[in-house]
Structure 1
């Protein structure tokens, strides 16, 4: 293929890491590519006072990139899969998914806010920064004494805000922290088990989107596809869809596919960020109707 593939991406450090990673994988498969940076609504500083539960999962970080794809300004898009609505716009399709980085959430605690004997060594009545309704609900479930405060900005900006003392602790996805290789030596890191503190559906996975009719790009993207990852993210995102999981709903879903071929799903849902959390666990030898069973349990 002579064409240089134009990759649509946001301009944050993490988005650029994701796009450069994708570019390298395409190069290994024999395809030339270039980055096209697109500003999304989620990058607009006017929205920095909005919490993510108002916006996430509604295409807040994806719409402008999808519009560019539909116009033909770019040939493909790379997204954080957890930011993707459960259905693509007409004319676009999710063509491939990446490997999965650590799907967990991490709690970063200021060393000045450490206190022995407290859960997570986090002092009493802490101020915890997160803009995710899902994380808020689950951290309150574990630490009801916490005061939750919205935090926005890219990953390094949030870590800086913690170090400057605006928060006692903040919550971030392990995937972003790992990919950016941030120096976390100045903070205490609590690494949650994704089976206990349930991540967002498809957390840690990149999604590659192309035009439905563009068979050349779709064929190229198959070189990047991890079918083992799509087996579990399909289930996680199907549950999100069945729960009509707009982002106002604090919903975590995590699925594993074991060596024996069995599926294991952990899910957590609250009616609001400050409401009780309901947890569900389901295992099955098949993916057939597994998402439906989990959703039914969550709705009870």
Structure 2
């Protein structure tokens, strides 16, 4: 069987993801190598995402390497991918879904058991995600939000160093890296209430459209029910022409429920909606129409 070269960012989490897929491929008899590629999102650390130009901050350079054939397979956090892929590239498989929830990590001296999310009044809370900012403003308009960049261990170290009272992170990343959080209070935010990013917790395995041999191999790693549900989440994102700087959360936990948070301006806080349906067909258009009416 042919050798497969995986392209990955160099962060701890990206490499965990690449090695996870490498191991799965080796289990079905493939020879696999990992090649590290730096992206714009890795290089530019001083700006929050909403101040960076364009979309695909963590994917463009890797997708270019795919098209140039210096790698065969890109392993992405699916939520980082643009909803309109570059011509010639396809998602050949999606992984099982890790818990998509967000976590709020709080320094123990900033805990207040009487407050929502156990976070003291006017706490300095770190995140660069417009989606997370908008939802924190919905639940806790008193807090002060301060931008937070860096990979997962770097963000946690900034909290440890006292730069923030609390920070927001994806639970999937913390779980995959098996990070010890015992020094903090950890609030597991219910993904039906504090809505994750579309496809949060899912890996997207991207290849060249013409690489039919690899597509056949990757079919063994695909999870059709996850693919179906994140198609709803990413469909809403696509029709709103949003990237990771759009204050939008969409979560489809099964074939009958969709939860949405949305804001045109994160500082005003997010609206929250729940949709209960017999099946998912047509639900994207209904959600998008509702959100566009909210904008008007």
| Fold similarity call, TM over 0.5 | yes
1:38 equivalent in structure 2: 37
Give the unaligned 5+ runs of structure 2: none
How far is the alpha carbon of 1:249 from its aligned partner?
2.1
8 Å contact 2:80–2:244 — kept in the other structure? Answer: no
Verify: 1:132 aligned to 2:114, yes or no.
no
Q: How does 1:24-103 map to 2 (within 5 A)?
A: 24-44=23-43, 47-55=44-52, 58-103=55-100
How far is the alpha carbon of 1:248 from its aligned partner?
3.6
8 Å contact 1:81–1:206 — kept in the other structure? Answer: yes
Mapped to 2, the partners of 1:155 and 1:31 lie a distance apart of: 30
1:143 equivalent in structure 2: 140
Mapped to 2, the partners of 1:53 and 1:283 lie a distance apart of: 32
Mapped to 2, the partners of 1:194 and 1:29 lie a distance apart of: 34
8 Å contact 1:57–1:247 — kept in the other structure? Answer: no
1:273 equivalent in structure 2: 266
Verify: 1:182 aligned to 2:175, yes or no.
no
Verify: 1:212 aligned to 2:209, yes or no.
yes
2:220 equivalent in structure 1: 223
Alignment: residue pair count:
293
Local SS of the residue matching 1:78: strand
How far is the alpha carbon of 1:116 from its aligned partner?
2.9
Structure 1, residues 177-196: CA drift from partner, whole Å, max 9, x if none?
00000000000000011000
8 Å contact 2:76–2:205 — kept in the other structure? Answer: yes
User: After the TM superposition, which parts of structure 1 deviate over 4 Å for at least 4 consecutive aligned residues?
Assistant: none
Q: Which moved more, 1:47-56 or 1:59-68?
A: 47-56
Verify: 1:163 aligned to 2:160, yes or no.
yes
Closer, same or farther in 2 for the Cα pair 1:217/1:56, shift >3 Å?
Answer: farther
Verify: 1:106 aligned to 2:103, yes or no.
yes
1:292 equivalent in structure 2: 285
Mapped to 1, the partners of 2:4 and 2:114 lie a distance apart of: 54
Local SS of the residue matching 2:274: strand
Local SS of the residue matching 2:169: strand
Give the unaligned 5+ runs of structure 1: none
8 Å contact 2:137–2:270 — kept in the other structure? Answer: no
Instruction: Indicate which of 92, 100, 123 corresponds to 2:120.
Output: 123
TM-score in terms of structure 2 length: 0.96
TM-score in terms of structure 1 length: 0.95
Alignment RMSD (CA, Å): 1.2
Mapped to 1, the partners of 2:190 and 2:111 lie a distance apart of: 20
How far is the alpha carbon of 1:4 from its aligned partner?
1.0
2:250 equivalent in structure 1: 253
Structure 1, residues 224-266: CA drift from partner, whole Å, max 9, x if none?
1011110100110001011111334200000022xxxx42100
1:13 equivalent in structure 2: 12
